[in-house]
């Protein structure tokens, strides 16, 4: 894929990402991973790094993928192409919102987009959860044995996930601490 095609791909992703950067993960996976530009493992590592760095995840992913494939020019161009549709749409919407914010069609469209966006956000959450915590067996018949169930989960990762949820809920631990713990866990365990 040339840099120009990659830029158009990120413009497309930015244009159709309704609901935030997390929704872009699904589109990026289809456009980048399924076309063989990077592996699934690289993609999920990019998600982890993008979530850990400041800024919107969609822009961070675009920057990281652009840099990974085309260096600094790729990082700059893919980031701009990811952000440009949002900027244009915001300028257009701001211009006309005062006229149409009471319009029933506009209200209905926004009411429709809320559950759709929730579903689009849920897809990458489930994919990341499955990718990091569950070992999908090659043969499902292996689950009929105790050893098959023992190997189904990444038990250490699952225990760490449980610990992080516990720290967040019980002790109201700041998310930055959880991110740092996750980074240390990833470096030490993997």
What pLDDT band is residue 138 in, cutting at 50, 70 and 90? low
pLDDT tops 80 at residue 32: yes
Copy the structure tokens of residue 150: 């023992």
Residue 187, class by beta-carbon neighbours within 10 Å (0-12 exposed, 13-18 middle, 19+ buried)?
exposed
What's the distance, Cα to Cα, between the start and end of the chain in Å?
30
Contact indicator for 160, 185 with CB cutoff of 8 Å = yes
pLDDT per residue over 81-112, tens digit each? 999 998 898 888 888 777 777 788 878 887 88
What pTM was estimated for this model as a whole?
0.59
pLDDT tops 90 at residue 73: yes
Q: Output the pLDDT for position 137.
A: 65
What pLDDT band is residue 181 in, cutting at 50, 70 and 90? very high
What pLDDT band is residue 143 in, cutting at 50, 70 and 90? low
Copy the structure tokens of residue 100: 């149409």
Q: Return the percentage of the chain with pLDDT > 70, whole number.
A: 90
């Amino acid at each position: 894929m040339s840099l120009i095609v990659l830029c158009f791909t990120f413009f497309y992703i930015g244009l159709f990402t309704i609901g935030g950067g997390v929704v872009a993960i699904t589109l990026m996976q289809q456009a980048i991973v399924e076309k063989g530009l990077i592996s699934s493992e690289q993609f999920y590592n990019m998600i982890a790094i993008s979530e850990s760095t400041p800024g919107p995840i969609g822009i961070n992913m675009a920057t990281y993928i652009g840099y990974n494939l085309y260096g600094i020019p790729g990082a700059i161009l893919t980031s701009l192409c990811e952000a440009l549709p949002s900027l244009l749409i915001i300028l257009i919407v701001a211009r006309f919102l005062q006229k149409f914010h009471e319009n029933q069609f506009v209200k209905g469209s926004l009411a429709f987009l809320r559950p759709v966006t929730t579903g689009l956000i849920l897809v990458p959450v489930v994919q990341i959860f499955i990718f990091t915590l569950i070992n999908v067996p090659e043969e499902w018949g292996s689950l009929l044995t105790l050893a098959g169930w023992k190997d189904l989960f990444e038990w250490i990762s699952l225990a760490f996930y449980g610990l992080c949820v516990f720290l967040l809920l019980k002790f109201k631990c700041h998310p930055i601490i959880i991110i740092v713990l996750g980074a240390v866990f990833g470096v030490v365990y993997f």
